Amino acid sequence: MSAALVLGSAAVVSSLGALWWALSGPRPVRAPVDLGGVRPPVDDLRTMALQRGAHERAVEPLLARLGRWAQRYTPQGRIAGLEQRLLLAGTPAGWTVERVLAAKLLVAGGSGALGVLRLLAAPSGIALVLVIALVTVGFFVPDLILRHKADQRQEQVKRTLADAIDQLTVTVQAGLGLDAAMARVAARTRGPLGYELARVGQDVRAGMARSAALAAMTERVQVPELRHVVLALAQADRLGVPVAKTLQVQSSELRVKRRQYAEEQAMKLPVKILFPTVLCILPALFVVVLGPAALSIYENLVKG
């Protein structure tokens, strides 16, 4: 392997690390040394610019410019789908449409550079296919990360939904209104579900109708169980059914669904264990059990 290939590969790998550092969002700045409350005055814009870190002065404008350029040539349907995935992922800090598009281009370019170096070192048809595969995979890596974050968030909501509805039912039965009960449950619930319930309360206080705020929550968190609860609350509000009774029925159904989900995961466990058992445990077992017999047979055949 030539030195140029090694240096090029190291440069591409280090550029990918720098890309991750650039896209991971702002970092806390080290607190300045306290000199008795006296700070030097800021004379001009140049001094203000120099007080900012290199990440804010160089990397962020470059990423923003690259993201705007990519957004200009991206179809509106793709941008809408990307915005929806960001919404389902909880809109992570520092993740915007422009940043994600810039990340797609930079990761695809870095992966393609690795493939090109491999192609230049040993030209072949397989190396050309490798270049195309690396560019394609690198382009879709940010999408896979967003999908994983969205699925993880949906799973957290699904796990905490039954307990939150139980608390909401008890709080409403104790005499609180639905808005006050949601605020109390949001303060006691950790994770994305607590954040979404708190946001519903903020939307209601800002003047949005409760049904519209709950519907917006189901769009941000596309969990079927949560949608069923929201639809049941909307129907109870429209027909005049007591909210406490509706929540009690929904709580019972959610507990049953959670037990069924746990049983389903338990039934899948033997199938998941099968492949590690076959690939890892059985070969070692065969070596221990059949190894001495095979050696004995081999020695008898050789001597015979």
Residue that the structure tokens 């746990």 belong to: 262
- Full-model pTM: 0.68
Shared domain for 206 and 235, answered yes or no, is: yes
Residue 132 sits at φ, ψ, to 5 deg, of -65, -40
Name the band, by pLDDT with cuts 50, 70 and 90, for residue 243: confident
The token pair that represents 278 in the structure block: 């076959």
Name the band, by pLDDT with cuts 50, 70 and 90, for residue 33: very low
Name the band, by pLDDT with cuts 50, 70 and 90, for residue 26: very low
What local confidence, expressed as pLDDT, does residue 53 receive?
57
Shared domain for 139 and 60, answered yes or no, is: yes
31 is a domain residue: no
Which domain covers residue 212, as residue numbers?
156-259
Which CATH number covers residue 163? 1.20.81
Task: Tell me the average pLDDT across 33-39.
Answer: 47
Domain count for the chain, please give it: 2
Shared domain for 127 and 59, answered yes or no, is: yes
Shared domain for 183 and 219, answered yes or no, is: yes
Can you tell me the distance from the alpha carbon of 68 to that of 28, in angstroms, rounded to the nearest whole number?
26
Can you tell me the distance from the alpha carbon of 165 to that of 171, in angstroms, rounded to the nearest whole number?
10
Shared domain for 166 and 57, answered yes or no, is: no
Of 40-49, 62-71, 234-243, 269-278, the range with the lowest mean pLDDT is 40-49
Can you tell me the distance from the alpha carbon of 259 to that of 61, in angstroms, rounded to the nearest whole number?
50
Shared domain for 86 and 213, answered yes or no, is: no
* Residue 118 neighbours by CB distance under 10 Å: 20
Shared domain for 145 and 9, answered yes or no, is: yes
304 is a domain residue: no
List pLDDT tens digits, range 164-202. Answer: 999 999 999 888 888 899 999 998 888 899 999 999 999
Q: 53: which residues sit within 8 A by CB, 6+ positions away?
A: 29
Contact 229, 236 (CB under 8 A): no
List pLDDT tens digits, range 79-89. Answer: 888 888 888 88
Shared domain for 141 and 162, answered yes or no, is: no
List pLDDT tens digits, range 131-159. Answer: 888 888 888 888 888 899 989 999 899 88
CB burial of residue 135 (10 Å; 0-12, 13-18, 19+): buried
What local confidence, expressed as pLDDT, does residue 137 receive?
87
30 is a domain residue: no
